[in-house]
Amino acid sequence: MRGLVVRAAGGPPRVEEIEPPVLGPADVRVHIRAAGVCHSDLSMVDGTLAPPYPLVLGHEAAGVVTEVGADVRRVAPGTHVVLNWAPPCRDCWHCGHGEPWLCERTGAPAAPGGRTTGGEALHVTLGLGALAEAVVVPERAVIPVPAELPFEAAALLGCAVLTGVGAVRRTAAVAPGESVAVIGLGGVGLSAVSAARAAGADPVIAVDVSPAKEGLARAAGATDFLLGDDSLSRAVRRLTAGRGVDHALECVGRSTTIRAAWRAARRGGQVTVVGMGAKDDVVGLSALDIFHSARTLRSSVYGSSDPDRDVPELARAVLHGTLDPAALITDRVTLAEAPAAFERMARGEGARTVVLFGR
């Protein structure tokens, strides 16, 4: 089968022939039908997250189960599924205390998974390596969804939508009438904009360095669009009676944008870091600033969500017409065209590219 492989930090991703791992008794084989190109994948390509190489890219995907191990009970061949890159164990302290998104035993950044046709061992992104024609994953890494759910929408539920919506609903718990700023308008950020609007937030201020994102932001429900430059905090305050927003959500994962979110929030406001950044990108805040501003700074890991509970809930919302992940998709490509999608993402173009298999 074919998969998208990167062989070194900064190296170009290329489509290669690969051999999947052998199916174990608790594993399932999934034929991938749609996979999103996420910024976390780009962080694997450019070395920001420093994974082991060679690496099969991809972690946001949906498909159909084609084979199951002898001990699998959750799904059967023919089941439509969303892949879960952070399946909770349900046994550790965090899982037992209602925090499955912080599970102590869930997906490592990359794990052994398959080989090249020449016999070279491969690693897979976030335990999945989903930018491939098929994957073999543990049973707990798949979530059944209705067969009528479009594959491209289902794929986005596994990362961008779950993360962005969860950050608003579950981590920040945005309430009607509260003001929100979302910095970074990729798939996660636009999902957060949509969720904030649905929660009754006002204003919902969308922020990006690219003016081309304004149309996407307003289509997602933003009341205002601002460029992410040095005047951002002043511009936010002009829209919020001089205070700043109740909630600032950072969906990039960089120290500069985290500080911008901090400055955009009002005194006593909430700053939620949704983007995953590099371990050596340090955020500096003065002790006096922290005390005087009385802001809360926290992260939202996977939208503070329980995927087994929340993905089916989001799937129902799509089928009922109250959630439209397809609005996030700016490009639909084949696997052969996926390397160019990474180039567009690195330039900050578009929102979400979805790779469709079988086109």
Give tens-digit pLDDT for 136-146. Answer: 999 999 999 99
Residue 278 pLDDT level (bands cut at 50, 70, 90): confident
Among 9-23, 171-185, 262-276, where is mean pLDDT lowest?
A: 9-23
Beta strand 60-68 with 27-37: parallel, antiparallel or unpaired? antiparallel
| CATH code at 163-302 | 3.40.50.720
Residue 219 pLDDT level (bands cut at 50, 70, 90): very high
Q: How high is the pLDDT of residue 358?
A: 77
Mean pLDDT, residues 96-125 taken together:
78
* Joined tokens for residue 63: 């498909």
pLDDT above 60 (res 265) = yes
Q: How high is the pLDDT of residue 107?
A: 58
Q: How high is the pLDDT of residue 120?
A: 84
pLDDT above 60 (res 260) = yes
pLDDT above 80 (res 94) = yes
> What does the alpha-carbon distance between residue 274 and residue 260 come to, in Å, rounded to a whole number?
14
Using an 8 Å Cβ cutoff, are 245 and 266 in contact? yes
Q: How high is the pLDDT of residue 256?
A: 97
Task: Give how far the C-alpha of residue 78 lies from the chain's centroid of Cα atoms, to the nearest Å.
Answer: 26
Question: What integer best gives the mean pLDDT of the chain?
Answer: 93
Options 1.10.10.10, 3.40.228.10, 2.20.25.90, 3.90.180.10; which CATH number does 2-158+324-356 get? 3.90.180.10
**In the chain, domain spans:** 2-158+324-356, 163-302
Beta strand 245-250 with 296-299: parallel, antiparallel or unpaired? unpaired
* Joined tokens for residue 195: 């969720």
pLDDT above 90 (res 347) = no
pLDDT above 60 (res 110) = no
* Joined tokens for residue 250: 């950072």
